Amino acid sequence: MSNDKTFKALVVEEDSEGNFSKSIQERQVSELPDNDLLIEVHYSSLNYKDAMSASGNKMITKNFPHTPGIDAAGVVISDKSGTFSEGQKVVIFGYDLGMDTPGGLGQMISIPADWAVACPDALTLEEAMIYGTGGITAALSIQKLEKMGAKPADGPVAVSGATGGVGSISIAILSQLGYDVIAFSGKTEQTEHLKELGATEVRHRDSVNDVGKRPVGRELWANAIDTVGGEYLANLLKQTKAGGAVTSCGLAASAEFAMTVLPFITRGVSLLGIDSVYIPLEDKKTIWNRVATDMKLPNLESYGEEITLEQTPEYLDRFMAGKTVGRYVVNVKG
């Protein structure tokens, strides 16, 4: 493909006064990094990290102008490494994509070949992006609980940030696998939606904090998936049954939490970190195969709202305002 070929991309720019703006612009392939794998992106998805990058968060993206998009699904245009063949369907999430490497909210990306995995035959590119980083993080969380011995008979699994991308897919997969789910959300108007996803019970997010300053509370759930951090994570841990575990994958509430060690040393509760960015490539292949098989959701299209590339500035602002529900799939190719 000629390096002077143009493509559309969301571009975030910083002005001389430190203000940031978002717009859809024409870019050239020659402006992309000189990596082995050139991909035509068909679909991406929106994540909280994309919204932080698009708002100018220098902890996520250091250099501007920049194209966010930590997820991408598309077809191979060329691969100098010989790993993939022309026209092969691939998916990418994690590593530096969409952080300081131009990401999936552009119609073309250039990345190292070892950032990509073949898209499972059982998934279309669009379905892969309904999962995206949010769905894969949910699947990784459930898989890690399983490795700790979790099973439906143990009791319910609590899920915080239930209407978010990770939370909503966690509920759906857990329900499909036979678990009872207690969903915590501040969006009480979404109660019926959460029950449709598979939640057995829906509670206001702040009720998890009723335990207050006590070092431990009553044992209310067997395991939990936390997507928000802060005191919510601490209080999920305090109310987890003996021998249970809580996974941690988000920080929308806070990156810090304070508590005693009592849940760990008196109940044997475990805190499990979930990394979906830098996990080994083989582990990424394994979890993609699971979401294409035993974790594949029926009527998958119902779990994501499809939007256009031109709509992404508006929807990224919604993320920062806390006004999003579920997964957003971006039809990048148009």
Enter the tokens of residue 82.
């010989």
70 lies in the same domain as 30: yes
Assess whether 268 and 156 both reside in one domain: yes
Residues 325 and 201 in one domain: no
Q: Are residues 313 and 201 in the same domain?
A: no
User: What CATH number is attached to the domain comprising 41?
Assistant: 3.90.180.10
Q: Are 60 and 53 in contact (CB under 8 A)?
A: yes
CA distance linking residue 55 with residue 197, whole number of Å: 30
Tell me 283's DSSP state: H
Beta-carbon contacts of 247 under 8 Å, excluding residues fewer than 6 positions away, are: 141, 144, 145, 224, 225, 226, 272, 273, 274
DSSP for 204-257 reads EGGGGGGGTT-S-----BSEEEESSBHHHHHHHHHTBPTT-EEEE---SSBS--
Please report, in tens digits, the pLDDT of each residue of the chain (334 residues total). 656 799 999 999 999 999 999 999 999 999 999 999 999 999 999 999 999 999 999 999 999 999 999 999 999 999 999 999 999 999 999 899 999 999 999 999 999 999 999 999 999 999 999 999 999 999 999 999 999 999 999 999 999 999 998 999 999 999 999 999 999 999 989 999 999 999 999 999 999 999 999 999 999 999 999 999 999 999 999 999 999 999 999 988 899 999 999 999 999 999 999 999 889 989 999 999 999 999 999 988 888 899 999 999 999 999 999 888 889 999 999 7
Is the domain of 327 the same as that of 245?
no
Structural domain contains residue 244 = yes
Say yes or no: 104 and 148 in one domain: no
Are 31 and 151 in the same domain?
no
Asked whether the whole model's pTM tops 0.85, one would answer yes
Is 287 contained in some domain? no
For residue 323, give its domain range.
Answer: 6-122+300-331
CATH classification at residue 204:
3.40.50.720
Whether 176 is in a domain gets the answer yes
Domain count, the chain: 2
In terms of domains, do 109 and 43 share one? Answer: yes
Q: Are 44 and 104 in contact (CB under 8 A)?
A: yes
325 and 269 co-located in one domain:
no
In a domain? residue 64: yes
117 & 137 share domain = no
Residue 173 in domain: yes
